[in-house]
């Protein structure tokens, strides 16, 4: 049976500056530089959360427009959109051998890179997020060192991630099917949404 654990949280923003301000105002800590994703025309900033991390991602204004929809629904963000916690990603192994059932739900498995990092990740061709972002994308770092281990520890740690969706039971079944284990709770709500509870040097904060 496939096993997976929480890899990182995804804050989408129209610009990195807006995303950084959003996170820093709420958590009271600064983000670190990430890098550029040439295939997607995006770039990011990062924050370590224990053995996982938080990513702020935005379109890269210096990159050529990609020939495909950007991931994480970024093409739908207007220039004045409020940054938000839109998605999360789970860490697993063996994505290269993913079967049709898995790719139909989570998206096609693609090879991606940023600087010296390389990985495989599930992406829907239209750039949309599975179950409105409540269902995670899947990532496989292979034998590479995990990015969180290379980030500065600023005393932040994810305590709990709430997944809200009208079909919370279906969401739970899909997580069980990928063998997910981690600090999450599936909750029934009128609209898809996420809430992360993060312990910081300034106390428990939420995103």
- The first and second tokens of residue 22, run together, are 């959003």
Residue 115 has a pLDDT of: 83
Residue 117 has a pLDDT of: 86
How far is the first Cα of the chain from the last one, in angstroms, to the nearest whole number? Answer: 32
Q: Which helix (H) or strand (E) holds 203?
A: strand 203-206
Residue 83 has a pLDDT of: 98
- The first and second tokens of residue 94, run together, are 């063996």
**Which pTM does this prediction carry?**
0.95
Give the strands of the sheet with 117-123, arranged side by side: 32-37, 42-49, 52-59, 5-12, 84-91, 137-140, 117-123, 108-114
pLDDT tens readout for residues 46-82: 999 999 999 999 999 999 999 999 999 999 999 999 9
Residue 70 has a pLDDT of: 95
Residue 129 has a pLDDT of: 92
Domain parsing of the chain, residue ranges: 5-153
Place of tokens 């995103």: 207
- The first and second tokens of residue 29, run together, are 């800590």
Residue 199 exposure: Cα atoms within 13 Å on the Cβ side: 7
pLDDT in tens, the chain (207 residues): 578 999 999 999 999 999 999 999 999 999 999 999 999 999 999 999 999 999 999 999 999 999 999 999 999 999 999 999 999 999 999 898 888 888 999 999 999 988 888 899 999 999 999 999 999 999 999 988 899 999 999 999 999 999 999 999 999 999 999 999 999 999 999 999 999 999 999 999 999
Are the CB atoms for 85 and 207 separated by under 8 Å? yes
- Of the candidate CATH numbers 3.40.50.300, 3.30.70.1450, 3.10.180.10, 3.40.50.720, the domain formed by 5-153 belongs to 3.10.180.10
């Amino acid at each position: 049976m496939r096993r997976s654990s929480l890899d990182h949280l995804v804050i989408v923003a129209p610009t990195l500056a807006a995303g950084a301000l959003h996170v820093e105002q709420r958590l009271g800590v600064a983000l670190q530089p990430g890098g550029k994703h040439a295939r997607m025309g995006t770039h990011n900033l990062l924050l370590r959360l224990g053995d996982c991390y938080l990513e702020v991602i935005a379109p890269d204004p210096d990159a050529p427009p990609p020939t495909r929809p950007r991931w994480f629904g970024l093409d739908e963000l207007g220039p004045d959109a409020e940054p938000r916690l839109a998605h999360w990603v789970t860490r697993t192994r063996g994505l290269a051998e993913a079967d049709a059932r898995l790719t139909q739900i989570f998206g096609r498995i693609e090879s991606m890179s940023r600087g010296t990092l390389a990985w495989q990740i599930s992406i829907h061709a239209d750039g949309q997020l599975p179950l409105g972002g409540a269902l995670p994308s899947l990532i496989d770092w292979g034998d590479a060192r995990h990015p969180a281990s290379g980030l500065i520890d600023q005393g932040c740690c994810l305590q709990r991630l709430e997944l809200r969706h009208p079909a919370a039971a279906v969401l739970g079944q899909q997580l069980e099917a990928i063998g997910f284990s981690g600090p999450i709770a599936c909750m029934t709500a009128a609209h898809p949404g996420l809430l992360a509870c993060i312990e910081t040097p300034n106390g428990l904060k939420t995103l």
